[in-house]
Amino acid sequence: MAIASLIGSSPKFRAVVDEIDMVAPSDCAVLIQGETGTGKEVIAQAIHEASPRRKNRFVALNCAAIPAALLESELFGHERGAFTGAVAQTMGRFQAADRGTLFLDEIGDLPLELQPKLLRALQEKQVERLGGGRTFQVDVRVIAATNQDLWHMVQERTFRADLYYRLNVFPITLPPLRERGDDIPLLIEHFVQMFAKRQGKSIYRIPEEVMEVLKRHDWPGNIRELQNVIERAVIMTTGPVLNQRATELITQDIRSAPIRTLVDAERAHIIAILHETNWVVGGPRGAAAQLGLARTTLIAMMARLGISRETLPQRAGEQPAPIPRAHSHETEGIDWEAPSYDNSISQMKDDTLADFQPMQAATSGA
């Protein structure tokens, strides 16, 4: 896949494209990091296609999909009789990718005992088949990918530090789809046309209400989830307009998304409080007060965590509420609506009057 065919115009994605442009001509190792479903293999293929090795093979191996006992053979090959069932000599992925690119997906799942052998192959550019004594020279560029925190694994001694440094020569971090709001309509249109062509259909229009719902979804499964939703929607479409049941296929929103990290937990808690306050941030009954934070502190946290009303699914019957504007480079691409000072004062007055009226009634009755 050429760089020009990568889909996306958001600032964060264009930054990734710039990094691909920088690293592709070189021959160094690349470590691609990002959540599940963000398109790590697509980026690896784009690096290969933009490199001097593009005329040779791009070989991919998912380290999590191969049993640990067979992974060494998959990587380096084996000789006949090396183990039970080895009835013929087999070339490994390193040799298959000679003069090309080897993509090692889910590198964090590589068994600890196999990591020194991979390190030697990277450093010495030599491999030795399982059950054999002959050494083979290989010329391979390695691109690795993971959705895990490798540095944390190094500190936990479940991943070798020397291998980490060898792979992490040029790191690329892919943003999750929820941080690429501008790219969602482009991806939807691309997937609709792609699946319509595969199924021999002609779909010319995507209803605006369908597009809006899809844009507001948080996409915890990222591009892979979006692709699956669109494929099912195309299957269900019988005419030229995309079936509106596409919106019904989204069964998981941010409130039920799995909590994997402290950042996920922090983000989910803030969103839950914002829903409870109907997205009112300031004031004595606003989200900031409930969280025990200053209003400006909460706004900064929302910007840092990528929390925006427009990018999250809306509850049934919920009306849009204004969100204050945070002026910083971190909030580019987030559409904040700033309530005026007068509106904030009016809200405080309303809250005060609401509390005072029952007291006034009780006094009058006495």
Give me the pLDDT at residue 324, please. 42
Q: pLDDT band at 259, cuts 50/70/90?
A: low
- Residue matched to tokens 């691609």: 32
Residue 364 lies in a domain: no
Render pLDDT for 195-228 as a digit per residue (tens, 0 to 9).
Answer: 999 999 999 999 988 898 888 888 888 999 999 9
Average of per-residue pLDDT values in the chain? 82
Is position 357 within any domain? Answer: no
Higher pLDDT, 285 or 29: 29
> Whole-prediction pTM value?
0.67
Give pLDDT tens digits for 79-103.
887 777 777 878 889 999 999 999 9
Q: Is residue 361 part of a domain?
A: no
* 248 and 275 inside one domain: no
Cα(219)–Cα(96) distance, integer angstroms: 36
How many folded domains does the chain comprise? 3
Judgement on whether residues 230 and 316 belong to the same structural domain of the protein: no
- As a dihedral over the C-alpha atoms of residue 122, residue 128, residue 129, residue 130, rounded to 10 degrees, the angle is -100
Residue 12 falls within a domain, yes or no? yes
Of 304, 354, 358, nearest to 326 by C-alpha is 304
pLDDT over threshold 50, residue 186: yes
- Regarding whether 168 and 132 lie in a shared domain, the answer is yes
My answer on whether 89 and 8 are in the same domain is yes
Same domain, 194 and 325: no
Residue 39 Cα to chain centre, angstroms: 8
Do 157 and 304 belong to one domain?
no
- Which residues form the domain of 71? 3-175
Final residue in a domain of this structure, among 175, 209, 226: 175
CA distance 12 to 28: 23
